[in-house]
Structure formats: C-alpha cells, structure tokens
Amino acid sequence: MAIAKKIKASMSNSSMIRKMFEEGAVLKKKYGADKVYDFSLGNPNVEPPAVFKKQLIRLAEEQIAMKHGYAPNAGFAETRQAIAAKINITYGLKLTADHIVMSCGAAGALNVIFKSLLDPRDEVIVLKPFFVEYPFYVTNYGGVVKFVKTKDDFSLDIEAIGKAIGRKTKAIMINSPNNPTGRVYSRKNIMELAALLRRKSREYDQTIYLISDEPYNEIVYDNIKVPGVLQAYANSIVAYSYSKTLSLPGERIGYIAVNPKLHEAHELITALILCTRILGFVHAPALMQRIVVKLQNAAVDVKIYKKKRDLLCAGLAREGYQFAKPEGAFYLFVKSPIPDDVAFVKMLLKKNILVVPGSGFGCPGYFRIAYCVDDKTIINAIPGFAEAIRECS
C-alpha cells in the first residue's frame, strides 16, 4: 500500500460535513445555488468588521522592512502583548506576552497543544457531541480519546466525567460556546468541573489539563457571559481563533494562551513554540499577526447572527421541531423527528436542504444546522423543513 495504514482507514471514514458539502455542490449545479439551502459548513457569510479591511489596506500600502519576512516561532512580541493585555482586562488575570503563542487558527493551536502534551496512550476526554476533528487532533499524537456524553441539555455531566478520569488521563477538552449545540457552559458548571479536576489531579498525583477551544467566545446572545476558564482552573490552556470573531476563517490566525499558574508553565510554553516550528506551521501568518494586534476590540456584529438564530428557531419551533435554543456560536442542534438521523438528513436532502447528521458528532438522533447563511436561505428553507417533519408523522 502506498499511503500510511492509519490514514487509509481515516479516508474511508471521512467527514460527514465534507460529504454534505460535496452533495451540496452537485445539487447546486443541478438546481442553481439559490434553490439549494446549504446549512452544512460553519463558513460565516457575515463580512469582517469594516476596520479589518481598513487595516489590511493600510498594511498592504505601508513600507515596513521585511514586512513579509519570518516572524519568531511564537509570533510577534507586539501581537502577543496586545492579546495578553486584552485577556487580562477581560478576566482580571496577569498574563504576559510570554504566555501567548500565535497559531494557525484554533485547529493549528490544538494540534500544537496535543503534540506538546501527549505521550503515546495518554488519554484525553472529549465530550459528546463533539466537533468532528477533535478525535484526529488527539490520535495524531498517539493519544486515546475517551468519550463522555454531556447531559440532555448539553451541559457538562460532572459525574460522568469523574467516572471517565483515570490514571492515564492527561487532559479534557471543552468547547463553549459549543459546536454543534450552541450551549454555553454556566459559571457553576465550569466551577464544578474545575473542582473535579483538582480533586482527580490530587487523587492520581498528576496534572490533568483543561483545554478550552474558544473560537466562538465572542459569538453569544441575550447578554450571556462566557465564564473564563483561565480564572477557574490553574492548569488550563485556551485555543483561540479569530476565524469567527473577525469572520476570516480562511486566513488561519489564532493563538494559544497558557495559564500563568499552570504547573511548569514555562516548560509547556517552550514545548508549544518548538512544536509550532517542527509541525511545519513555523509561525502564524505574519500579515494577519500584524493586523490582529490592532483589532483586539473589533468583532463582527453579533446582532446579525442573533436575527438568524431567531428566524430559524421560530420557524422550526412552529413546525414542531425540538431543540435547545443556542446561547452562542451559529449552530442549532435539532432532535431528528425519527430515530435514524442519517435517514432524516436524506429526507431533507430531497427538499434541497443540506444539514449534517448528529452521528457525525458522535450523537445520533440529532442533526446540525449551521445558520451562518443568508437570512433568505433560512426563510426559504422553512417550508422544506415543514414538509419533511410532516412526512415523518
């Protein structure tokens, strides 16, 4: 066989999200793009804030010596300094530039974190439903994923997590606001998790890391506040991306923030910088590092997403769909009217509606709607959703 056996196995079992995306391309060719309601990908249709374009033009025109040259592996000191300052103001903490390592988005950040932390067969707890890429990020470095279900309302099931922690547990990953559920874990829920991790770390006499994937940190509704993980737990690491906050997922820019109180923080930071280098990222794209330093207080207009959420939730509730109203991110995780979510997703496909089966997130019986699309797409898709649920009853 030409390619690696492990990769061959992964290929035959590839992402359901991408599969839907490809089905969508076929449908769009056949019926025209405006006749297909594509809710498959979390690719925001909202424009970046105006100040981003302004900064990009300014920077493009500016004369800076070696503007596009190599950056330090950790990223430019000025950018890391600005990010540390922003985190400190938001959460009342004391990070310095040294606690920040710039990354190629959150996906790059998580790979660098796991490469730095995991010895073969170390276990990482991943919560169901989960973002489809998480298991790859863990197994890439020889780690073993231990899945734990969240509660029916998609909040953290502290008891179940406690049972899953053992001698081999190196870390637990959380993602709040959550993809695919839109759930934001409450402060109480986070505090309970932190207490559990402290207790279990003592019990097994080893550090259990809390890795918080936070690309949707700024996309929250109804004045909900996302509790700060760095405040709650010393051995915490944040993976952040500007993809959603600034609507530029194509530009691959984010960062890792290491808690200053983390056990052997300096050693971990040195490892993160080394792994950024040797995994071939080398460093996060220089141009974007020079831009985000100026945009620490910029964000897309969340009201635009809120309108989409409300349109979608009202439309689907009226037709009898069941779901928990998202508190953040731009996904709705809906109960499938029939137990077989893949079959229901195929029924929706016949209405030219593309969504992703919950099975793809380790949670059969549900499907995910990515509502970062035109309002019109939402409005025009409701009749199709209505027909599909009626056909099930």
- Distance between CA atoms of 335 and 331, rounded to whole angstroms? 13
- Distance between CA atoms of 107 and 134, rounded to whole angstroms? 9
Distances (CA, A) of 122 to 143, 167, 172, 252: 5, 9, 11, 28
Q: Does 310 interact with its own copies (rule: CB under 8 A)?
A: no
Q: Does 91 interact with its own copies (rule: CB under 8 A)?
A: no
Answer for which of 50, 66, 167, 225 binds its own copies (CB under 8 A) is 66
Torsion of CA 289, 294, 298, 300, to 10 degrees: -40
- For the segment 6-25, give every residue that binds its own copies (CB under 8 A): 6-8, 10-11, 14-15, 18
Answer for which of 19, 23, 28, 41 binds its own copies (CB under 8 A) is 41
- For the segment 161-180, give every residue that binds its own copies (CB under 8 A): none
Task: Report yes or no: 122 and 143 within 8 Å, Cβ to Cβ.
Answer: yes
Task: Report yes or no: 212 and 237 within 8 Å, Cβ to Cβ.
Answer: yes
Answer for which of 281, 305, 330, 333 binds its own copies (CB under 8 A) is 281
Q: Does 249 interact with its own copies (rule: CB under 8 A)?
A: yes
- Distance between CA atoms of 309 and 103, rounded to whole angstroms? 30
Q: How far is CA 111 from the centre of its chain?
A: 13
Query: If binding means CB under 8 A, how many residues of this protein chain bind its own copies?
Result: 76
Task: Report yes or no: 207 and 350 within 8 Å, Cβ to Cβ.
Answer: no
Nearer to its own copies, 140 or 231 (CB): 140
Using a 10 angstrom Cβ sphere, with 0-12 exposed, 13-18 middle and 19 or more buried, the burial of residue 342 is middle
β-sheet bridge partners, residue 254: 103, 241
- For the segment 114-133, give every residue that binds its own copies (CB under 8 A): 115-119, 133
Nearer to its own copies, 5 or 303 (CB): 5
- Distance between CA atoms of 264 and 320, rounded to whole angstroms? 52
CB of 204 to its own copies, least distance (A): 14
Answer for which of 82, 109, 300, 347 binds its own copies (CB under 8 A) is 109
Answer for which of 19, 88, 97, 140 binds its own copies (CB under 8 A) is 140
Answer for which of 277, 294, 335, 351 binds its own copies (CB under 8 A) is 277
Which x/- pattern, by CB under 8 A, does the window 355-384 give for its own copies?
------------------------------
Answer for which of 85, 144, 158, 271 binds its own copies (CB under 8 A) is 271
Which x/- pattern, by CB under 8 A, does the window 186-225 give for its own copies?
---------------------x------------------
